[in-house]
Amino acid sequence: MVYDVFMRTTLTLEPDVARRLNARMRTEGLTLKDVVNRALRAGLTAENRKQARKRFVVKPHHGGLMPGIDVDKINQVLDEMEVEELAQRLER
């Protein structure tokens, strides 16, 4: 079931907020009720969007490379490791 509920509420506004609401009422030709409802909807929607997004966090880990090894030349390192492995097999 869907009910339309209208609630009468008293708000105490900070002076800067009241000035901004009054300015919006004048420029857009809206009632206080309409300006407040639009502002609340916009704020609550933005809040929901912020909560929906999870922050991306980089989790660093040790790559296992020794100091002095250039990761841009990783293929060279792999080749050297294969040569070492082959040399050990041949020694056996």
DSSP 84: H
With 0-12 CB in 10 A as exposed, 13-18 as middle and 19+ as buried, what is 72? exposed
Confidence band of 35 (pLDDT split at 50, 70, 90): very high
pLDDT tens-digit map of 41-60: 998 888 766 666 677 888 88
Q: Where are the domains of the chain?
A: 1-60
Q: What percent of the chain has pLDDT over 90?
A: 34
Place of tokens 């002076």: 15
DSSP assignment string, 35-54: HHHHHHHHHHHHHHHHHHSP
Nearest in space to 69 (alpha carbons), one of 61, 58, 80, 59: 80
Q: What is the pTM of this model?
A: 0.47
* Residues 13/21, Cβ–Cβ less than 8 Å: yes
